[in-house]
Structure 1
Amino acid sequence: MKIVDIKEKAVPIKSDISNAYIDFSKMTASVVAVVTDVERDGKPVIGYGFNSNGRYAPSGILRERFIPRLLDASPGDILNEEETNLDPHKIWNVLMTGEKPGGHGERSVAVGTLDMAVWDAVAKIEEKPLYQVLADRYRNGQVDEKVFVYAAGGYYQPDKGLDKLQEEMKSYLDLGYNVVKMKIGGDSLKEDIKRIEAVLDVVPSGKNLAVDANGRFDLGTAIEYAKELEPYDLFWYEEAGDPLDYELQAELAKYYKNPMATGENLFSMQDARNLIRYGGMRSDKDILQFDCALSYGLVEYLRILDMLGDYGWSPRQCIPHGGHQMSLNIAAGLGLGGNESYPGVFEPFGGFADNHPVEDGYVSLPDVPGIGFEAKSNLYELLQTVAK
């Protein structure tokens, strides 16, 4: 078998929403299609991938470096021993040929986008859902039949007052979510507390609400917020400071006894390991949010999980960022603690398969080969345009 073509397209995911750091008015994402010569049901197997929200489309380095590098590779460098399927680990090595260590930047996003498409193709060629492929390879076949998901929202928007914020959070509860998340740090502490208390008026308790500062705070501000937030007993306090400021995270843990979450903007196993070594993260309560689509793909994510095991962390403490079906498959197949979700936001990339609603905070996955994009109609419609 062989890869016959790889196509890329940058598409907008623009929105008028903003968090504490950026707005999404000009945000884009790369979509790739890896076309193989394997046929199923009379059609070529095509693997699809895209990068998660929050990072722009890495079109240039995909087209100039990584796609040509993969297309130029010999079959022995990208196929399994039987030469019947792609080998994602070999492909990762091909993609990273000639790349120096460190300086991850947008490179990790480009590789993660291609990696997603490769795994989608691998599972389609095996004619299994990706979560089953992962469970068979890495978890003795055990699959979580449903996965915990939380609704991420509560963004800052023009003319969005407390009433609209409450309506938004009520709508997530009505959709079946038990935990919702809102942004903080885009306004003053006083105003953010008003917003938090407004949401607490409509959710059952603090345990049903997480807050996310998107790395906005210096240490002093992070501690100020921590002292105000702690009495609410929130689900978690997320990414208070710069993601690479491990000292800030470690110091903050001295002032905040409740769960914290971070990691969505760490893009390699080495950075993840430094967080575990130096960030003061607590394996009995804190949550790690590494996103494979932004951090060199599932191949690197498997290395991260191995590293976490070495430091005594359970995969259940991992709840990936991104809100997409790739992370959902990883959670179900590898036994993670859950997955993010963006109801009605970042469509068509966010959300899960049609006819698989969230029920009591959990969602199931479709029994279709691959990642399951074909079971999400609005997303699959877009993906097909890339492959043409």
Structure 2
Amino acid sequence: MHIIDVVEKTKPIASPIRNAYIDFSKMTTSLVAVVTDVVRDGQRVVGYGFNSNGRYGQGGLIRERFRNRILEAPPAALLNEAGDNLEPSRIWDIMMTNEKPGGHGERSVAVGTLDMAIWDATAKIAGKPLFRLLAEMKGRKANPRVFVYAAGGYYYPGKDLTALRTEMRSYLNRGYNVVKMKIGGASIDEDRRRIDAVLAEIGDEARLAVDANGRFDLETGIAYAKMLREYPLFWYEEIGDPLDYALQATIAEFYSAPMATGENLFSHQDARNLLRYGGMRPDRDYLQFDCALSYGCVEYLRTLDVLAAFGWSPSRCIPHGGHQMSLNIAAGLGLGGNESYPDLFQPYGGFPDSVRVEEGHIVMPELPGIGFEGKSDLIKVMRELAE
């Protein structure tokens, strides 16, 4: 059993939208294929992966560093003890050979992208959906029903309150009962009008979360907290710089309702520091670590161990990214749900074609691997890469 090639291609996911910090007009992603010599049902097993939106493609790191370590390793070093499947944790160790501690940034995205493809291949070789493989590995029962919320509400040229309301209504029409919008890219008064418009549209049919994308300093974060606590929000997300734990802890003194953060933390050490110093509250707040940006599922399992040591339930994790890898982790390891982008970052976001959102939940299909083969627009692009 061999990995015979690792292929990467940097693809555009450009869009005219923006949040409080960046615009997506030149955004890219890395699409990867891990090609094995294993055949299942007459087809060569290929694992696929890509990095989440908001971080650019990692082609240079993948092609020049991590790919070579996988392909140059003795084939047996990539396998489990029985020698009948890949072992993602061993492959992770090989990828991270000669890497110093810290410096998580872009490196964590490159490894997370490859790790996704490796888990996809591993589950396909086992002939199981990844969420069931993960559940078995941890000795727990998988729950294929997963909470999902609709992320949108971006700023873009010409988007008025009517367009914002129409967008949010479209999510409700598709079965979502929690929606999210961006704040911090306009004045506080304009954002208040935007929030009022959305709440008027969704009424008691759904809950609203807001996301500042790390834009605020302490003074602005507090000003927004005082404004936002007038509303029954699902959460107030990523208020300031992701590494400013003191800011996060201080905001908790002004905002007693749920907060969420973590999508721009890239290791279990970062997660530990957030829980030590960030004032996060395990009874109400949410953690948004994204495996595709933070060294993959191998590292995510370590992160869940950190959470357990601090008394946090995995159900407080609702990952960023809107991809099927996190859906599998949620279903297999008991997370609280997953982000979803119904209209954005296609074909990478979203669900297999047969999956529908009902009452804010989806049911995982019984597809081997991560389930990319069930999403026709995405698997077409992926197979072109492997061929």
Q: Which TM bucket (shorter chain)?
A: over 0.9
- C-alpha deviation, 1:78, in angstroms: 1.0
The one-letter code sitting in structure 1 at the alignment partner of 2:328 is N
Local SS of the residue matching 2:14 = coil
- Once residues 375 and 102 of structure 1 are traced to their aligned partners in structure 2, the CA distance between those partners, rounded to angstroms, is 37
Classify the secondary structure of the residue corresponding to 1:231: coil
Displacement after TM superposition at 1:144 (Å): 1.1
The residue aligned with 1:60 is 60
CA distance in 2, matches of 1:80, 1:139: 18
Which residue of structure 2 aligns with residue 84 of structure 1?
84
Give the SS at the match of 2:321.
Answer: coil
Aligned to 2:352: 353
Cα separation, 1, equivalents of 2:23 and 2:213 = 12
Deviation at 1:76, TM superposition (A): 2.9
The letter of the residue matching 2:76 is G
Distance 1:206 1:223 in 2: 29
Distance 1:206 1:358, change over 3 A: closer
| Alpha-carbon distance between aligned partners in 2 of 1:366 and 1:11, rounded to the nearest angstrom | 27
Match of 1:265 in 2: 264
2:11 aligned residue: 11
> Does the 8 A contact of 2:11 with 2:28 survive in 1?
yes
Whether contact under 8 Å (1:51, 1:112) holds in the other structure is: yes
Residues 129-148 of structure 1 mapped to structure 2, 5 A cutoff: 129-140=129-140, 142-148=141-147
Name the % identity.
66
1:251 to 2:250 alignment? yes
Residue 96 of structure 1: aligned partner:
96
Q: How does 1:161-180 map to 2 (within 5 A)?
A: 161-180=160-179
Structure-1 residue corresponding to 2:21: 21
Q: Deviations over 1:210-255 (max 9, x none)?
A: 0000000000000000000001020000000000000000000000
Q: Are the aligned partners of 1:269 and 1:301 in contact in 2 as well (CA < 8 Å)?
A: yes
8 Å contact 2:10–2:28 — kept in the other structure? yes
CA distance in 2, matches of 1:139, 1:175: 34
**Contact 1:5-1:71 within 8 A present in 2 as well:** yes
Equivalent in the alignment of 1:157: 156
**What is the root-mean-square deviation of aligned Cα atoms in Å?**
0.9
Determine the C-alpha separation between the residues in 2 that align with 1:125 and 1:58: 26
CA offsets per residue over residues 152-207 of structure 1, 9 Å max, x none? Answer: 00000100000000000000000000000000000000000000000000113497
Q: Does 2:37 align with 1:37? A: yes
- Aligned to 2:35, what secondary structure does the other structure show? strand
Contact 2:176 2:206 in 1 (8 A): no
In 1, Cα distance between equivalents of 2:284 and 2:40: 45
> Deviating runs (4+, > 3 A) in structure 1?
none
C-alpha distance in 2, partners of 1:106/1:53?
A: 13
Matched, 1:279 2:278: yes
C-alpha separation between the residues in 2 aligned to 1:205 and 1:44?
A: 49
Asked if the contact 1:250–1:281 (Cα under 8 Å) also holds between the matched residues in 2, the reply is: yes
Distance 1:376 1:315 in 2: 27
Q: For residue 181 of structure 2, what is the aligned residue in structure 1?
A: 182
Check the 8 A contact 2:177/2:206 in 1, yes or no. Answer: no
| Structure 1: distance between partners of 2:21 and 2:262 | 16
Aligned residues: 387
SS of 2:105's partner is coil
- Contact 1:206/1:233 (8 A) holds in 2: no
Q: 3-state SS of the aligned residue for 2:201?
A: coil
Q: Which residue of 2 aligns with 1:110?
A: 110
Determine the structure 1 residue equivalent to 2:338.
Answer: 339
Deviation at 1:365, TM superposition (A): 1.1
Q: What are the Cα deviations for residues 61-102 of structure 1, in whole angstroms up to 9, with x where unaligned?
A: 100000001100112321101111110000010000000000
Q: In the alignment, which residue of structure 1 is the partner of 2:230? A: 231
The residue aligned with 2:46 is 46
Amino acid at match of 2:23: D
Question: Equivalent residue for 2:310?
Answer: 311
Partner Cα separation in structure 1 for residue 227 and residue 257 of structure 2:
12
1:70 matched to 2:70: yes
**Does structure 2 conserve the Cα–Cα contact (< 8 Å) formed by 1:215 and 1:243?**
yes
Report what 1:196 is aligned to. 195
Task: Name structure 1 gaps, 5 residues minimum.
Answer: none
- For residues 206 and 311 of structure 1, do their structure 2 counterparts lie closer, same or farther at Cα, with a shift above 3 Å needed? farther
Does structure 2 retain, via aligned residues, the 8 Å contact 1:206–1:235? no
CA offsets per residue over residues 313-348 of structure 1, 9 Å max, x none?
Answer: 000000000001000000000000000000010000
Q: Distance in 2 between matches of 1:139 and 1:187?
A: 48
Q: Distance in 1 between matches of 2:102 and 2:354?
A: 42
2: distance between equivalents of 1:92 and 1:33? 16
Q: CA deviation at 1:139?
A: 3.7
